[in-house]
Amino acid sequence: MSTVLESIIEGVLEDLERRAIPLAQLTAQLGDAEPLRGAKQALTGSDMKIISEVKRASPSKGDLSAIADPIGLALQYEEAGASVISVLTEERRFKGSIKDFLDVRSAVSIPMLRKDFIVTEYQVLESRVLGADLLLLIVAGLSQSQYLDFHQMAKELGMDILVEIHNQEELERAMAASPEIIGVNARNLKTLEVSAAAFTELLPLIPAGIIKVAESGISQRSEVESVESLGANAILVGETLVRAGDPRAAISTLLAL
């Protein structure tokens, strides 16, 4: 029986086969790619940063918000002080799209995270063509050789990389690429269960000098204070913001602005 993560990756590969343009054509588009905006720099500093997410649905919660106007939502995030905007491009489970990503990037001036399950070199290259300033690599969904290859490729293309981990073994694997940004996801992508214990266990183990991002399950100011005390430099928040009647006020509350 496959895990949720394995099922998602199977769908990603099927969708990619359906919509992929020839690699040579994609490579030719690199010359027209937009300049990158520096996600690492945007996440650097003494104050807590927030990566605010445009997210319609999730495997664990189903539909979250219709988000008829992703540009309008993203502009609210930017006005409220988000450092990076994350846009889901995975279609089946998260109801995201590349169109959402491109629409938002054309409207905002801050860096963008392409939030998807990157499992091929094609997607790494595609992400740069789309203008992703920050690329997500989920260690649990990649072999070690894939992880190292994709990390190096993304870096050579000029992108910053958010390396996502869920346990200590994955942290050890992640460190082999000398990452600059590591995200601890409190949601187990194999079972979809959330446990803040992941933050307590893993954030203090990440070496100094690496930007530490706390992902999933954060909805209260007290939770932000908790992960900050454990060493987090940034939080990634989606569900809480898309369900908030006023996402600007929600960001202000989380960051105590």
Q: Where are the domains of the chain?
A: 4-255
Name the token pair of 12: 């990603």
The pLDDT of residue 2 = 66
Q: State the catalytic residue, choosing from 126, 215, 223, 239.
A: 215
Distance in angstroms (rounded) separating the CA atoms of residues 59 and 191: 10
Chain CA centroid to CA 254, Å: 18
Task: Give the containing element (helix H, strand E) for 43.
Answer: none
Given the residues 115, 170, 233, 239, the one annotated as active site: 115
List 49, 55, 95, 212, catalytic entry: 55
What are the C-alpha distances in Å from 139 to residues 118, 145, 162, 174, 233?
10, 11, 10, 7, 20
Q: Which of 58, 185, 188, 233 is catalytic?
A: 185
Whole-model pTM: value is: 0.94
Q: Is 164 in the active site?
A: yes
Are the C-beta atoms of 58 and 93 separated by less than 8 Å?
A: yes
53 carries an active-site annotation: yes
Q: Which of 95, 216, 223, 233 is catalytic?
A: 216
Active site residue 55: yes
Structure tokens at 221: 């100011």
Residue 243: count other Cβ atoms within 10 Å of its Cβ.
14
Q: What is the pLDDT of residue 98?
A: 94
The answer to whether residue 185 is catalytic is: yes
CATH class given for the domain over 4-255: alpha beta
Catalytic, 78? Answer no
Which residue in the list 164, 170, 223, 239 is annotated as catalytic? 164
HSE toward the beta carbon, residue 20, CA cutoff 13 A: 18
Strands 62-63 and 57-58 turn out to be antiparallel
Both tokens of residue 86?
A: 């994350």
Please answer whether residues 211 and 235 qualify as being in contact, where contact means their C-beta atoms are separated by less than 8 angstroms.
no
The pLDDT score that the predictor gives to residue 51 is 98
Amino acid at 249: A
Say what the pLDDT of residue 128 is: 97
Find the catalytic residue in 49, 52, 53, 78: 53
Residue 1's pLDDT is 45
Dihedral sign of CA atoms 198, 199, 205, 207 in order: positive
How does pLDDT run along the chain (257 residues), one tens digit per residue?
468 888 889 888 888 888 778 888 888 999 889 999 999 999 999 999 999 999 888 777 777 877 889 999 999 999 999 999 999 998 888 888 999 999 999 999 999 999 999 999 999 999 999 999 999 999 999 999 999 999 999 999 999 999 999 999 999 999 999 999 999 999 887 788 889 999 999 999 999 999 999 999 899 999 999 999 999 999 999 889 988 889 999 999 999 98
- HSE (side-chain half, CA atoms, 13 Å) at 254: 31
Sign of CA dihedral 157, 237, 117, 194: positive
- For residues 174 and 165, the answer to whether their CB atoms sit within 8 Å is yes
What is the helix, strand, coil percentage profile of the chain, to 5?
45, 20, 35
The confidence score (pLDDT) of residue 99 equals 95
